[in-house]
């Protein structure tokens, strides 16, 4: 996890007080029949117990263990003393059963690197689990436990998109394997993003439910007892539950689960072949827009879905699949809930006029082929592994799908490490020769040279250097 993120947890003591002035003890002694889901400001002071009773059995504890090789102190190594030792690292989190045959969804960071994953059900039974799919970019993972002949309690995924700011929600988790914990709050905001680039995986439900470390992967539940989202992280300055909580929306959760149970081992991200930019107040003024909302089409990939639908550079997307396009992140999030082949209505504003086009979502093309190679010979690139960038390869690496060229993906020593090459570098020129494909780089580095003049692109900046 990033340093600014703390794992979600959910501890709460639901305050029970009587609207008629009864004491707390009197309220606690009310019969079960007198409890109901809150439907008004008055009944909100009663109990969330019916929702918890419905949802809690489907929330599980997840423990993950991995073997780590621990290095010895360099001081003792100088004297030949000590030896590397193995130790076991573990993590705890929560998960939600979404299919009665034992399919569970949780956060990727809960199980990432885990070699032994155990799921503890609400009734304290434990089962080994295997990972069906793990996706770091959405921070979701789908697990499976074997429960022959048994149907486990589940939570239905609410992916209707009808949740509103102010709706009551519960956060339920089993963070430390000691039993479930619950908090209540409201939806504070929708379509929140922690990434200004508008990455599709960063459109979250924000909640003010009290949270503590240890509850990643738990359930954010609506008042029908359905799964509204998977709790993922908090932003906190104090390092405690006093912060802002975020959950991955149900629509994206369903997309990942369906991919996993359908046999997919990786999430294929849908693509429209357009680079989007959120409309700022400055852009809105220059484009003649009344409000700074929408997603500006900054570039269109030749022959891609957007180009085929007639979308042009400079268009402003105002609606996507029937939903208002607030910014680039909101468009990318809705897109992420679709799969290749889906037809989507896109509302556009062009030259002051509005229109709607139908766009067929596709997967990013894998052309040119990766052609992954580790370079040998005697050049500054010896020891570097490189690939051709295509929209599919760039997307898989979490990069801009519009990037083209030859990228360094690994540096395993040798001259490449000595001259400072890094994964992510894009090779642009070697000894005056433009590098557009791996074959160009292989050919350029196979020649003998006394002096190597190299230009690479790193983090959007070109760097030139000369090596002898």
Catalytic positions, written as ranges: 109, 139, 216
Which tokens hold the place of 10? 């959910």
On whether the CB atoms of residues 208 and 6 are closer than 8 A, the answer is: no
Which tokens hold the place of 159? 């992916």
- Find out whether the peptide bond into 368 is cis, omega within 30 degrees of 0: yes
Rg (CA), the chain: 26
Cβ count within 10 A of residue 75: 9
Strand, coil or helix: 391: helix
Which tokens hold the place of 286? 């220059």
Which tokens hold the place of 114? 């885990």
On whether the CB atoms of residues 313 and 326 are closer than 8 A, the answer is: no
Enumerate residues 6+ apart whose C-beta is below 8 A from 297: 274, 275, 276, 306, 311, 312, 313, 314, 315, 316, 317
Strand, coil or helix: 373: strand
Q: In terms of DSSP bridges, do strands 461-467 and 384-389 run parallel, antiparallel, or are they unpaired? A: unpaired
Sign of CA dihedral 1, 411, 67, 101: positive
Which tokens hold the place of 301? 């990939």
d(CA 393, CA 364) in angstroms, rounded, equals 9
**DSSP letter (8 states) at residue 202:** G
- How many CA atoms lie less than 13 Å away from 386 in the CB half-sphere? 27
């Amino acid at each position: 996890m990033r340093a600014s993120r703390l794992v979600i947890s959910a501890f709460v003591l639901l305050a029970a007080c009587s609207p008629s002035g009864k004491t707390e003890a009197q309220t606690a002694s009310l019969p079960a029949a007198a409890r109901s889901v809150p439907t008004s400001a008055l009944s909100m002071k009663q109990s969330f117990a019916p929702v918890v009773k419905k949802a809690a059995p489907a929330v599980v504890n997840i423990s993950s263990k991995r073997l780590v090789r621990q290095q010895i102190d360099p001081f003792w190594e100088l004297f030949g003393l000590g030896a590397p030792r193995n130790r076991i690292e573990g993590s705890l989190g929560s998960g939600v059963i979404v299919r009665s045959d034992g399919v569970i969804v949780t956060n990727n960071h809960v199980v990432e690197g885990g070699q032994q994953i155990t799921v503890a059900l609400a009734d304290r039974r434990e089962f080994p689990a295997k990972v069906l799919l793990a996706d770091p970019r959405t921070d979701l993972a789908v697990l499976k436990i074997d429960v022959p002949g048994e149907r486990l309690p589940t939570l239905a995924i609410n992916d209707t998109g009808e949740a509103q700011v102010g709706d009551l929600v519960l956060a339920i988790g089993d963070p430390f394997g000691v039993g479930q914990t619950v908090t209540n709050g409201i939806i504070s905001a929708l379509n929140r993003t922690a990434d200004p680039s508008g990455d599709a995986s960063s459109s979250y439900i924000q909640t003010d439910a009290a949270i503590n470390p240890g509850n990643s992967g738990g359930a954010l539940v609506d008042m029908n007892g359905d799964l509204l989202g998977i709790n993922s992280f908090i932003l906190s300055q104090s390092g405690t539950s006093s912060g802002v909580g975020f959950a991955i929306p149900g629509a994206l959760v369903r997309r990942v689960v369906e991919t996993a149970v359908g046999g997919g081992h990786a999430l294929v991200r849908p693509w429209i072949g357009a680079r989007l930019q959120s409309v700022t107040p400055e852009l809105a003024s220059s484009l003649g827009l009344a409000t700074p909302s929408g997603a500006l089409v900054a570039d269109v990939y030749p022959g891609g879905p957007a180009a085929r639908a007639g979308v042009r550079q400079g268009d402003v997307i105002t609606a996507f699949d029937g939903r208002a396009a607030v910014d680039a992140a909101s468009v990318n999030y809705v897109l992420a809930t679709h799969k290749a082949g889906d037809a989507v209505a896109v509302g556009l504003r062009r030259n002051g006029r509005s229109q709607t086009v139908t766009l067929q979502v596709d997967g990013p093309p894998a052309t040119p082929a990766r052609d992954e190679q580790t370079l040998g010979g005697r050049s500054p690139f010896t020891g570097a592994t490189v690939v051709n960038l295509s929209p599919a390869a760039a997307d898989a690496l979490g990069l801009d799908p519009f990037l083209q060229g030859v990228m360094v993906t690994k540096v395993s020593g040798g001259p490449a490490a000595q001259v400072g090459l890094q994964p992510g570098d894009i090779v642009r020129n070697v000894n005056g020769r433009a590098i557009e494909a791996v074959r160009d780089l292989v050919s350029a580095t196979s020649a003998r040279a006394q002096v190597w003049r190299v230009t690479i692109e790193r983090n959007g900046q070109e760097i030139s250097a000369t090596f002898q």
